[in-house]
């Protein structure tokens, strides 16, 4: 009985997790960079070139990676998903306690069977 209800909670958590893929913890920013091509018209006009940088933590170190343009929407989604996952994780502690209380209340209201 106890196992079954835990199973149910786990299933609903799993369902939410499934919608939170892909995942990436970090931040992405758009920069404009000059290139090294001589006589580049975009650079001459001062427009430069759009580039996306993904910043993340590797232990204590902060690192950056260049994001290919085609991957930008995916990265955006992944970062957003990570934020939602963190919210979800923050909810789990209070949820555990609330569910425990609910079950305890239910049990104490039930006739003891004696």
The nearer residue to Zn ion, 48 or 76, going by C-beta atoms, is: 48
Kindly tell me which of 20 and 43 has the beta carbon lying closer to Zn ion: 43
Is 23 or 43 the residue whose CB approaches Zn ion more closely? Answer: 43
Listed residue (69, 48, 66, 57) closest to 24, CA to CA: 57
Minimum CB distance to Zn ion, residue 34 (Å): 6
The nearer residue to Zn ion, 33 or 63, going by C-beta atoms, is 33
Least Å distance, CB 47 to Zn ion, is 8
Question: 50, 34 in Cβ contact below 8 A?
Answer: no
Minimum gap (Å) between residue 48 Cβ and Zn ion: 6
Which residues of the shown chain bind Zn ion in the complex (CB under 5 A)?
35, 40, 42-43
Q: Which residue is nearest to Zn ion (CB)?
A: 40
Q: Residues with Cβ < 8 Å from 31, sequence gap 6 or more?
A: 50, 51, 52, 53
């Amino acid at each position: 009985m106890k196992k079954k209800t835990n199973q149910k909670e786990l299933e609903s958590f799993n369902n939410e997790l499934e919608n939170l893929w892909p995942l990436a913890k970090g931040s992405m920013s758009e920069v404009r960079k000059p290139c090294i091509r001589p006589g580049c018209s975009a650079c001459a006009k001062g427009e430069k070139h759009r580039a996306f940088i993904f910043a993340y933590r590797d232990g204590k170190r902060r690192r950056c990676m260049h994001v290919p343009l085609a991957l930008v929407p995916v990265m955006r989604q992944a970062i957003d998903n990570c934020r939602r996952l963190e919210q979800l994780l923050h909810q789990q502690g209070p949820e555990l306690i609330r569910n425990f209380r609910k079950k305890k209340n239910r049990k104490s209201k039930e006739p003891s069977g004696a």
